């Protein structure tokens, strides 16, 4: 029986980040993972998806926008090449995780871990071989799995994103059930390669957790790309026949049927908190299945910590990484920055156009009853956006009226995910919009939209 200072269950972005930070702080660390080193993000999610989306951007240019950019002659976009490159990029990043484990002296243990008691984890290896680990502290980072739709079983034609992202060809048509981040990203991706796409969303708008104005602008842009969006729509049934799938959709004006080659179910994720032996370790879970944690990631068992999607807090890779660092630093007893308000964490959707945000929406800010200022600045007034040929979208800042402190920001347009860190940094360190406006921004850049919106909080944008 081996003993480690820290044992991490799960080698996704949160798990391997926590392991590295704990090792940097002098701890003897082991990390337990059955197969997916780098987690869903590196293998089946963030990394290969964004690689495919880059190909989709180029495909849009050479198919829909070729005349504007002076492209001539026969040109086609090959999804097979995009898929192959997505696997190459993903595999390279996974190798990078193994390199980090070796570099920091972290013991890799291939298998599935389960708590036998509050100080012991039993690991079942890929060939059924069992071993036992003793630990001082443990970090649970086992992620989440795609949720299914009640009454609808996955099959060859009714699939999750994990199956879709491993296809080497694009379907001719698809119905995407769910208008959240994954649904929107796959819609943008596949439409660029000629797939007929329909999104079915039960809520009144796409991206239900984002700002109303952003959601409305996104729907218009997707429609321009030939994507059909059905909101306030409930899937009444799915029937596989005639070599495809028929989806019955119920709306206020009646029921209709959609025919497609495939159906993608993308309605969210459920924490992987079962089968871990948490009861034996004294770890509590919430009613929704997430492991309960405090602002330092500590569970109800004081020496066991949880991070990432398994907590159900905000299921994003960068959030898991931030939580992992806090957990490792808390274990080591060094100074850290606890995470108390997940609303202020950055969020992004990498479709075309991109969506990025943090903090309160305008609707939520007004519901608090405080006096606010809303400043919106369009990419249409930004030189760099015109140079790129992507002048659609805007930046919307929400600040308190008295001091101009940021309460939230909502962006839609070209590469807006890259603009967000300036805003979250300002919020975290209490920089006002006036102070943000005094930060000189390079010209011509997309970031000048942030500058102008910050000026606008006080009613004085320069270029509008």
* pLDDT tens for each residue of 369-388: 999 999 999 999 999 999 99
73 CB-contact burial (10 Å; exposed 0-12 / middle 13-18 / buried 19+): exposed
pLDDT of 112-132, one tens digit each? Answer: 999 999 999 999 997 777 899
pTM: 0.95
CATH level 3 topology of 158-267: FAD/NAD(P)-binding domain (3.50.50)
Distance CA 270, CA 264 (A): 17
Give pLDDT, residue 30.
Answer: 98
- 3-class state of residue 130 by DSSP: strand
Give pLDDT, residue 254.
Answer: 87
- Are 311 and 296 contacting, i.e. CB atoms less than 8 angstroms apart? no
Q: What's the whole-number mean pLDDT along residues 23-39?
A: 97
pLDDT of 397-410, one tens digit each? Answer: 999 999 999 999 99
158-267: same fold as 2-146+270-332? yes
Sign of CA dihedral 179, 182, 183, 189: positive
The pLDDT-based confidence of 73 (bands split at 50, 70, 90) is: confident
Q: What is the mean pLDDT of the chain?
A: 96
Residue 51 has pLDDT above 80, yes or no: yes
pLDDT of 138-175, one tens digit each? Answer: 999 999 999 999 889 999 999 999 999 999 999 999 99
The CATH number of the structural domain formed by 353-456 is 3.30.390.30
Verify whether residue 443 is a known catalytic residue: yes
Give pLDDT, residue 92.
Answer: 97
CA nearest to 59, candidates 72, 73, 75, 77: 77
- Name the CATH superfamily, with its identifier, for domain 2-146+270-332: FAD/NAD(P)-binding domain (3.50.50.60)
Residue in 55, 386, 443, 458 annotated catalytic: 443
Give pLDDT, residue 432.
Answer: 97
CA nearest to 316, candidates 284, 348, 292, 343: 348
Residue 253 has pLDDT above 90, yes or no: no
Give pLDDT, residue 36.
Answer: 94
Sheet with 244-251: strands ordered across = 234-241, 244-251, 254-260
The pLDDT-based confidence of 242 (bands split at 50, 70, 90) is: confident
The pLDDT-based confidence of 65 (bands split at 50, 70, 90) is: confident
- The percentage of the chain sitting over the pLDDT mark of 90, rounded to a whole number, equals 92
Distance CA 202, CA 219 (A): 15
Q: Label residue 234 left, alpha or beta by phi (over 0 means left) and psi (-120 to 50 means alpha).
A: beta
Q: What are the residue ranges spanned by the domains of the chain?
A: 2-146+270-332, 158-267, 353-456
Q: What's the whole-number mean pLDDT along residues 316-331?
A: 98
């Amino acid at each position: 029986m081996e003993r480690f200072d820290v044992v991490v269950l799960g080698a996704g972005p949160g798990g391997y980040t926590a392991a590295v930070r704990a090792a940097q702080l002098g701890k003897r660390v082991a990390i337990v993972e059955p197969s997916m080193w780098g987690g869903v993000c590196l293998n089946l999610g963030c990394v290969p998806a964004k690689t495919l989306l880059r190909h989709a951007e180029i495909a849009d240019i050479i198919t829909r926008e070729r005349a504007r950019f002076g492209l001539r002659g026969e040109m086609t976009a090959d999804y097979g090449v995009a898929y192959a490159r997505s696997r190459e990029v993903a595999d390279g990043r996974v190798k990078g995780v193994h390199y980090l484990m070796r570099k920091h002296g972290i013991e890799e243990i291939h298998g599935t871990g389960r708590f036998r008691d509050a100080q012991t984890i039993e690991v079942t290896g890929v060939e059924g071989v069992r071993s036992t680990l003793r630990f001082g502290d443990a970090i649970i980072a086992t992620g989440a799995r795609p949720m299914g739709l009640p009454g609808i079983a996955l099959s060859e034609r009714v699939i999750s994103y994990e199956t879709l992202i491993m296809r080497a060809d694009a379907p001719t048509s698809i119905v995407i059930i769910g208008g959240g981040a994954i649904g929107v990203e796959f819609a943008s991706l596949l439409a660029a390669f000629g797939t007929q796409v329909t999104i079915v969303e039960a809520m009144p708008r796409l991206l239900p957790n984002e700002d109303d104005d952003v959601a409305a602008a996104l729907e218009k842009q997707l429609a321009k790309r030939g994507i059909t969006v059905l909101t306030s729509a409930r899937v009444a049934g799915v029937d596989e026949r005639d070599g495809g799938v028929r989806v019955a959709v119920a709306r206020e004006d009646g029921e209709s049927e959609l025919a497609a080659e495939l159906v993608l179910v993308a309605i969210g994720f459920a924490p992987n908190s079962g089968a871990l032996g948490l009861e034996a370790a004294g770890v509590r879970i919430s009613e929704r299945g997430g492991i309960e944690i405090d602002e330092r990631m500590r569970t109800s068992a004081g020496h066991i910590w949880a991070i990432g999607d398994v907590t159900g807090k905000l299921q994003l890779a960068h959030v898991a990484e931030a939580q992992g660092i806090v957990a490792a630093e808390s274990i080591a007893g060094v100074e850290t920055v606890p995470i108390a308000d997940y609303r202020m964490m950055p969020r992004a959707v990498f479709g075309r156009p991109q969506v990025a945000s943090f903090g309160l929406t305008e609707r939520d800010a007004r519901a608090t009853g405080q006096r606010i200022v809303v400043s919106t600045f369009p990419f249409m007034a930004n030189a760099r956006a015109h140079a790129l040929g992507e002048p659609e979208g805007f930046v919307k800042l929400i600040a308190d009226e008295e001091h101009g402190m940021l309460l939230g920001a909502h962006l839609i347009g070209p590469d807006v995910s890259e603009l967000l860190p300036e805003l979250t940094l300002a919020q975290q360190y209490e920089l006002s919009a006036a102070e943000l406006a005094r930060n000189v921004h390079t010209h011509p850049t997309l970031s000048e939209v942030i500058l102008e919106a910050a000026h606008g909080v006080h009613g004085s944008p320069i270029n509008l």
